[in-house]
Amino acid sequence: MNSPATDAYSEGVARSNDEVAALFQEYADLISITGGDAYRTRVYEKAARSIGGYHADVSTLDVKGLQDIPNVGKSTAEKIVEYFRSGSVSAVEELRSRIPAGVRRLTAIPMLGPKKACVLYEELGISSVEELADAIHEERLRDLKGFGPKTEENILHGIELLQSSGDRVLLDVAMDVADDIVTELSAITGCLRCTYAGSLRRFRETIGDIDVLAAADSSARLMRAFTELPYVSEVIAHGEKKTSIRTTKGLSVDLRVVPPDSWGAALQYFTGSKAHNIRTRERAVHQKLKLSEYGLFDAESGEKIVSETEEEVYDRLGLPWIPPTLREDRGEIEAGLKGELPDLVEESDIKGDLHTHTDLTDGLAPLEEMIEAAASRGYAYFAITDHGPNLYMQRMTDERMLAQRERVRALDGTFRTRGRRGGLRLMHGAELNIDPEGDVDWPADFLSGFDLCVASVHSHFNQGREALTRRLVRACENPYVNIIGHPTTRIIGKRPGVDADLDAVFAACARTGTALEINAHPDRLDLRDEDVLRARRHGVKFAVDSDAHAALHLANMRYGVGTAQRGWLTKEDVINTWPEARLRRFLRKEAAGR
Ligand code: DGT
Ligand code: CA
Ligand code: CA
Ligand code: ZN
């Protein structure tokens, strides 16, 4: 396993171990607050202390290795593995969900544990973040036992962190709800059109609220159906033009119903972004038009101009139709005027997935099931890239990897797919772990046997900018590393990306013929849109991958493609839209420097 003595006191160790220690301390608190067994509370408190003080990075250990830590038993070890795999522990989440809403609102603050939250709730009646901020400013916390000026400062910092991420939800969470609402409303008699607009249609990585738009001659029926959806917990506003609800999960949804002849203008308006709309409205003014949520009008006569489609609206403004994922005022208006909008990559262009896992390591599905799912998506090729031996818990060996390769070779071409006449083409790869020095799991002679290698950072996120940059650049320089997986390792709303000189990494990718991944997992979307835009200017190629750990996850590809579009990428930029022969040439890395 990967815990050489040199790692022992690096910042990375401290950080992973502290994270886990804090989590188990919280778990212990939660057990005690929810009236759990005092013995279990002590078990997790002791585990928290041992982990905080342990010499090796817990994120690099497997269940067995973790049990070598004093006070860590099998079930604690499994929770640690779960944490590093998924970013959370279901048992902890379950208890979190059982404490009073007031306390829960407070524990959303990153620096505030449930014990302190309970004290604040019970002693001062504080049940919201705003009330807490007020109480701190009024210095009302200082009299409480266990609170001092330092605690106040920590909490204020936590409130800042919380407010910067806001009440937003991940793209896939909003998408699932929106897809369902659109399906339900579309089935109502009189509904002529229905779709989601807003940030969701633009595929932003997080969503503030869902904006659904429908066209109908009369809105009453639609509005009623909307408020009667089974997961509506509250009707915030109920009107003829607009109705707002909150779902049981706390998500707000606006439904607007417009007459069919203003569908195009309304869709354009409510898709946004606000910044893009300000620009389109300026264009409208120039054309003596008025563009608003109510439609497109002649500015002088006030006469409504029929605008059944967005194309008509943009055309009136002297622009080609602009794809929603570009509507952020990042140069799309200028590009549109010059006829230079990119021909964006689309999900249907994707010929295969180049980063996926099976149950040989931490995936849930057997090899055949993953391949079957890939074939049913109509892919032409598909890569299996289980973890190498250097990553915690993976139990990978040379023999296991080679045995998998034989199975992959035997199944090559045997699954029928829309994408390729001779059946789905399989590639055998690996996801290597980039260690703190930038080295990967195997020596060259073993690596040369893979069709492709993804290499990713999975620990030691806090090495410092220079070390992290060198580490990623060294990985690019490895002739067997084809794709840098989830390049910044961020987890949206939970873990910031590593502090590396990304421009140096992008330049190294371009120079060495190494692709950057756009990891399509909605928790990651890494690289993010803005970094994609920057990397693209370096001439980097990209791989949009699901990093699926189960067959269902292959469908996350849509979020990766959305992110690629937000980074202005075309088919040419994305290696897994290329025909197999061209992809294989790229994977040989020979042409690097061309
Ligand atoms: P979100 O909900 O925070 O994820 O982001 P959006 O973009 O969905 O924003 P939202 O829900 O406030 O509004 C939906 C769209 O409506 C927005 O993208 C553009 C349009 N819109 C809203 N308010 C304004 C405004 O004050 N001016 C203009 N021009 N457009 C607006
Ligand atoms: Ca919205
Ligand atoms: Ca809205
Ligand atoms: Zn992976």
Q: Specify the ligand 1 atom closest to the Cα of 254.
A: 11
CATH label of the domain that carries residue 377: 3.20.20.140
Same-domain status, 240 and 312: yes
DSSP string, 282-304: HHHHHTTEEEETTEEEETTT-PE
Q: What is the model's pLDDT at position 594?
A: 37
Residues with C-beta atoms within 5 A of ion ligand 3: 209, 211, 254
Same-domain status, 135 and 100: yes
> Which of 120, 149, 165 is a domain's end point?
165
Give a yes or no: residue 308 inside a domain. yes
Give a yes or no: residue 342 inside a domain. no
292 lines ligand 1 (CB under 6 A): no
Give a yes or no: residue 483 inside a domain. yes
Give a yes or no: residue 48 inside a domain. yes
CA of 162 to the centre of ligand 2 (A): 19
Same-domain status, 405 and 521: yes
280 lines ligand 1 (CB under 6 A): no
Nearest to 374 by CA among 406, 412, 400: 412
Same-domain status, 257 and 389: no
Same-domain status, 36 and 122: yes
Give a yes or no: residue 459 inside a domain. yes
Give a yes or no: residue 139 inside a domain. yes
12 lines ligand 1 (CB under 6 A): no
Print pLDDT tens along the chain (594 aa): 333 333 333 334 556 788 898 899 889 988 988 888 889 999 999 899 888 777 788 988 999 999 999 899 999 999 999 998 888 899 999 988 888 777 877 877 766 877 888 889 888 889 888 889 899 988 888 888 888 888 888 888 778 767 766 678 999 999 999 999 999 999 999 999 999 999 999 999 999 999 999 999 999 999 999 999 999 999 999 999 999 999 987 899 999 999 999 999 999 999 999 999 999 999 999 999 999 888 899 999 999 998 999 999 999 999 999 999 999 999 999 999 999 999 999 999 999 999 999 999 888 889 999 999 999 999 999 999 999 998 756 678 999 999 999 999 999 999 999 999 999 999 999 999 999 999 999 999 999 999 999 999 998 998 999 999 999 999 999 999 999 999 999 988 778 899 999 999 999 999 999 999 999 999 999 999 999 999 999 999 999 999 998 898 999 999 999 999 999 999 999 999 999 999 999 999 975 433
> Which of 317, 337, 357 is a domain's end point?
337
Same-domain status, 356 and 301: no
CATH label of the domain that carries residue 144: 1.10.150.110
> Which of 136, 165, 194 is a domain's end point?
165
Same-domain status, 280 and 412: no
DSSP string, 378-444: T-SEEEEEEE-TTSTT----HHHHHHHHHHHHHHTT-S-BTTBTT-PEEEEEEEEE--TTS--SS-H
Same-domain status, 218 and 249: yes
Same-domain status, 180 and 35: no
Tally the domains of the chain.
Answer: 3
Instruction: Rounding to the nearest 10 degrees, give the CA dihedral for residues 277, 281, 287, 292.
Output: 100
Q: What is the model's pLDDT at position 6?
A: 30
CA of 252 to the centre of ligand 1 (A): 14
Q: Return the ∠ at Cα 408 (arms to 407 and 410), rounded to 5°.
A: 65
Is 159 buried (19+), middle (13-18) or exposed (0-12) by CB count in 10 A?
A: buried
Give a yes or no: residue 62 inside a domain. yes
CA distance 485 to 391: 14
Same-domain status, 184 and 242: yes
586 lines ligand 1 (CB under 6 A): no
Radius of gyration over alpha carbons of the chain, in Å? 26
Same-domain status, 331 and 367: no
Residues spanned by the domain of 287: 170-337
Give a yes or no: residue 361 inside a domain. yes
Alpha helices in 87-170 (DSSP H): 90-96, 101-107, 114-124, 129-137, 149-165
Q: % helix / strand / coil in the chain, to the nearest 5?
A: 45, 15, 40
Same-domain status, 488 and 458: yes
